[in-house]
């Protein structure tokens, strides 16, 4: 198929995947803006997206696009080098900044991918991935709700190295996206003397605004993380605690339904004089009551742990979560 075999087909795929990735990055910067203006609403969006089927499909699609983009780029670069030898940059009009970035695309690409690696470990691996494997990221002995995006902003940006690493990543991203836009217009044939400068100006503005916003956002997140805003703000604290309580309520509802059905069986067995079945059911009911008590206790410990997280950060990362006094199971 020409799309995969011919050079122009591969360039077309590069352009198409590139546009999708630029759109994702633009969407991402807008999401971060929500985190800055309305942190609580940001957590609600994180909760809405989470590891639901539509978010998982979007994440898988994004990973696929990025992979195709990278593989295609490597193949095209190798083919170009083979075909052109040392004269691989011999094209008509090319501004100086583009020339610099195209000659350093490999290094820029590695920096962007390295940034992404660090970034995904700091966020995706602690949030969506934990939900996928049915686990939760623990910090300071406290299991954190995956949807509490602002806690993960705190954990990432309270580290002194995060801001410089991100800023380096953003610089590489700026060059990479600028070059990408430039070569994309060439690939799709929009490289005439009238349209090329226009597209280039639009691209340059777009990329510069997006990357500048990322840089400003990273500075704001760092400032707030140093103030421990995301751990001490009363509204956010209430939201984290509600997330834990909602989760426990969901589990309690399931247990409640199980309890009602067994209680009915126990009653029927008692009425029929089947004492063995009746005492069996009573034992099961006791087990459910115990489980419900444990769930409430664990949720209480989590909530207390979350409210004490500010003192566990930085100074004493391994401080155990305060555990509430053992309660007798609900009778």
Residue with smaller CB distance to ligand HEM, 128 or 278: 128
* Torsion-angle region of 94 (φ positive above 0: left; ψ -120 to 50: alpha; else: beta): beta
Would you say 89 and 99 are in contact if contact means Cβ atoms under 8 Å apart? yes
Q: Six-digit token pair at 142?
A: 């406290």
C-alpha to C-alpha distance for 319 and 151, rounded to whole angstroms:
17
Are 305 and 137 in contact, with CB atoms under 8 Å apart?
no
Of 149 and 288, nearer to ligand HEM (C-beta) is 149
Q: How far is the CB of 82 from ligand HEM (least distance, A)?
A: 29
Q: List all residues 6 or more positions away from 8 whose beta carbon is below 8 Å from its beta carbon.
A: 2, 187
For residues 84 and 100, what is the distance between their CA atoms, to the nearest angstrom? 18
Closest separation between CB of residue 224 and ligand HEM, Å?
11
Give the nearest distance from C-beta 146 to ligand HEM in angstroms: 8
Comparing CB distances to ligand HEM, the nearer of 123 and 206 is: 123
- Confirm if 144 and 136 have CB atoms less than 8 A apart: yes
Q: Where are the alpha helices (DSSP H) in 188-226?
A: 195-226
Q: What one-character-per-residue DSSP string does 80-120 give?
A: HHHHHGGGTT--S---HHHHHHHHTHHHHHHHHHHHHHHHH
- Reported residue count of the chain is 331
Minimum distance from residue 47 beta carbon to ligand HEM (Å)? 10
Tell me the two tokens of residue 40.
């609580």
Residues that bind ligand HEM (CB under 6 A): 25, 28, 32, 46, 58-59, 62, 116, 119, 123-124, 127-128, 149, 152, 166, 173, 214, 217-218, 221
HSE at residue 221, side-chain half, CA atoms within 13 A, is: 28
Contact 21, 61 (CB under 8 A): no
Closer residue to ligand HEM, CB minimum distance, 122 or 187: 122
Cα→Cα distances 330→69, 287, 288, Å: 56, 11, 10
Q: Provide Rg for the chain, Cα atoms.
A: 27
Name the residue nearer to ligand HEM (CB basis): 166 or 175.
166
Number of helices followed by number of strands (H, E) in the chain: 14, 2
Query: In the complex with ligand HEM, which residue's Cβ is closer, 10 or 69?
Result: 69
| Cβ closest to ligand HEM, residue 28 vs residue 198 | 28
- Give whichever of 61 and 256 is closer to ligand HEM, judged by the CB atom: 61
Nearer to ligand HEM, 110 or 323 (CB): 110
């Amino acid at each position: 198929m020409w799309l995969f075999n011919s050079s122009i087909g591969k360039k077309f795929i590069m352009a198409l995947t590139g546009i999708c990735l630029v759109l994702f990055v633009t969407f991402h910067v807008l999401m971060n803006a929500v985190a800055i203006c309305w942190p609580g609403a940001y957590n609600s969006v994180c909760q809405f997206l989470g590891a639901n089927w539509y978010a998982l499909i979007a994440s898988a699609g994004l990973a696929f696009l990025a992979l195709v983009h990278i593989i295609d780029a490597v193949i095209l670069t190798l083919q170009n080098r083979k075909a052109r030898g040392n004269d691989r940059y011999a094209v008509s009009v090319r501004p100086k900044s583009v020339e610099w970035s195209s000659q350093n695309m490999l290094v820029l690409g590695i920096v962007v991918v390295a940034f992404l690696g660090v970034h995904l470990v700091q966020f995706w691996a602690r949030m969506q991935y934990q939900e996928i494997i049915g686990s939760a990221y623990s910090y300071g002995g406290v299991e954190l709700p995956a949807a509490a995006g602002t806690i993960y902003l705190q954990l990432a940006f309270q580290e002194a190295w995060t801001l410089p690493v991100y800023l380096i990543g953003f610089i590489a991203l700026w060059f990479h996206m600028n070059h990408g836009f430039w070569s994309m217009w060439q690939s799709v044939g929009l490289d005439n003397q009238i349209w090329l400068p226009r597209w280039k100006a639009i691209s340059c503005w777009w990329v510069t605004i997006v990357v500048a916003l990322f840089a400003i956002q990273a500075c704001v997140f760092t400032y707030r993380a140093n103030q421990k805003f995301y751990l001490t703000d009363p509204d956010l604290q209430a939201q984290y605690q509600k997330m834990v309580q909602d989760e426990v309520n969901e589990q309690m509802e399931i247990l409640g339904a199980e309890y009602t059905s067994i209680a009915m069986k126990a009653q029927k067995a008692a009425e029929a004089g089947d004492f063995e079945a009746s005492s069996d059911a009573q034992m099961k009911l006791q087990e459910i009551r115990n489980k419900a008590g444990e769930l409430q206790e664990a949720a209480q410990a989590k909530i207390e742990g979350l409210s004490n997280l500010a003192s566990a950060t930085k100074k004493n990362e391994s401080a155990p979560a305060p555990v509430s006094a053992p309660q007798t199971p609900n009778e």
